[in-house]
Amino acid sequence: MTAQRPMPTRDDVLGYFATLSNWGRWGDDDELGTLNHITDDVRLAAARTVRHGRSVSCAWEVAVPDHMERSTTSCPCAADMPGAENMPLPGFRDDRRWGFSMERLGITFHGNTVTHLDSPCHLFWDGTMYNGRPHSLVDAATGSAWAAVTAAAHGIVTRGVLLDVAEVRDVPWLEPGQGVHPEDLEEAERRQGVRVRPGDAVLLRTGHGRFRHESGEPGGATQAGWHASCLPWLHERGVALIGADTPQDVQPSGYDDVLVPVHAVGLVAMGLWLLDNCDLEACAATAAELGRWEFHLAVAPVRFAGTSGSPVNPIATF
């Protein structure tokens, strides 16, 4: 294993808001944050990682009705639809052959269940968002006017790197409350023969996905995940996006004054976009089978105006 680094103190973590800040780095009007690390050259290099043409999803299926409010309308014949007799198209009134179904969905995707993307406006610190904007730019009626998920409307396409820390520790999964540290990340790099570089999306496997598949439980208030000590490492490596098979932060975080330091420092200071609650089991199995821990990763958020994130289905292509 690599040498242990000193554990950051509470003051160290609070200091990250200044020492790891990307405010102004890409201009005062920048809303992309660390996604600026994904250049055209980075995307081209990501495309070149595809060797086998095999794609796997890194998302959980959204269960009904557990994770959403759902109303489905089914009309075996379109002519039976209420109001069809008033439609201006005669076909609606007369055609007895075709029917349809449609849905109305309501979903709360933030939390510890649905796979989703967090944009920088998702969190405030001292009433401030990424790049120094006030929280007042988020309005109850219209959503956020700053650093919403629509900043990534063209999608996030880059090289993905899966770091399997459960495998490094030789356990089926990390237990709730166990944090992942830079030493774990570097040991995973060493074992897997890969190195995280600028513009990468780093996906952290704690094994919670396996636990969730086997137990049927999404998890509780405590969880394994990134420890705050990883934040300088992610900043130094120029990571564009991080994901995990949990909601990112180890819980409890170990810092009474900072409940979710990876979310808080990452989103507010660094502008680091987050992929929460991934299902990385298929990705890990494919990586192990092919002996390749890098892949082309595509994340396409829905262009919900003014929202702090989006449910997503990240696709890894090997």
What is the secondary structure of 59-77 as a DSSP string? S----TTTSEEEEEEEESS
Distances (CA, A) of 12 to 228, 239, 251, 269: 10, 21, 18, 14
Work out the pLDDT band at 93, boundaries 50, 70, 90.
low
Structure tokens at 261: 């330091």
Structure tokens at 3: 């040498």
Work out the pLDDT band at 88, boundaries 50, 70, 90.
confident
- What number is the average pLDDT over the span 294-318? 98
Residue 203 pLDDT more than 70? Answer: yes
Q: Give the largest CA-CA distance in the chain.
A: 76
Work out the pLDDT band at 90, boundaries 50, 70, 90.
confident
Report the DSSP pairing between strands 156-164 and 294-299: antiparallel
Comparing 4 with 75, the larger pLDDT belongs to 75
Residue 231 pLDDT more than 50? Answer: yes
* pLDDT at res. 1: 47
Domain spans, the chain: 13-61+112-317, 68-106
Residue 189 pLDDT more than 90? Answer: yes
Comparing 16 with 78, the larger pLDDT belongs to 16
Residue 76 pLDDT more than 90? Answer: no
* pLDDT at res. 77: 84
* pLDDT at res. 172: 98
* pLDDT at res. 96: 77
Residue 12 pLDDT more than 50? Answer: yes
Share of the chain above pLDDT 90, in %: 84
Residue 2 pLDDT more than 80? Answer: no
Helices (H), 75-158: 90-94
Structure tokens at 116: 């989703």
* pLDDT at res. 3: 60
- What number is the average pLDDT over the span 263-270? 98
Residue whose C-alpha is closest to residue 20's, from 258, 303, 272, 302: 272
Q: Can you tell me the distance from the alpha carbon of 264 to that of 258, in angstroms, rounded to the nearest whole number?
A: 8
Burial 152-177 (b: 16+ CB within 10 A, else e): beeebbbbbbbbbbbbbbeeebbebe
Work out the pLDDT band at 78, boundaries 50, 70, 90.
confident
Structure tokens at 15: 């200091």
CATH number 3.40.190.10 is the correct assignment for the domain at 13-61+112-317 = no
